[in-house]
Amino acid sequence: SSGNAPEDDAPNRYSRTERTTYSRYSRDANSSGSSLPSNTLEKRIEELERELAKERQENARLMKMAQDKEELIGKLKEEIDLLNR
């Protein structure tokens, strides 16, 4: 059950970070009178969101692999214990 706690926390952490990042971009774009057109910023945000989605998928895949390996280690430890008896 300890393996599930970090997973459960991950979506909350990401969404807070995303909100903070988005609001920072919005503030910077509005307050700085940026020379970049808003559609350029929107395209950049979309690009970053796609990149974030890919990274999240990779993170989920790696977490699943790690969990599978932990389960295998547990089973092998049990098997070793049985063989030692």
Average model confidence (pLDDT) for the chain? 79
4 within a domain of the structure (yes/no): no
48 within a domain of the structure (yes/no): yes
Q: Which residues of 53-79 are buried (b: 16+ CB within 10 A; e: fewer)?
A: eeeeeeeeeeeeeeeeeeeeeeeeeee
Examine the pLDDT at 12 and tell me if it is beyond 90: no
78 within a domain of the structure (yes/no): yes
Instruction: From 3, 9, 4, 6, select the one nearest 73 (Cα to Cα).
Output: 3
| pLDDT of 60 | 98
| pLDDT of 36 | 75
| pLDDT of 26 | 56
Summarised one tens digit per residue, pLDDT across range 14-48 is 555 555 555 555 555 555 555 778 899 999 999 99
Q: How many domains does the chain contain in total?
A: 1
56 within a domain of the structure (yes/no): yes
| pLDDT of 1 | 46
Q: Would you say the pTM of this structure is higher than 0.85? A: no
Nearest-angstrom CA–CA distance, 63 and 8: 12
Domain range for 59: 37-84
25 within a domain of the structure (yes/no): no
49 within a domain of the structure (yes/no): yes
73 within a domain of the structure (yes/no): yes
71 within a domain of the structure (yes/no): yes
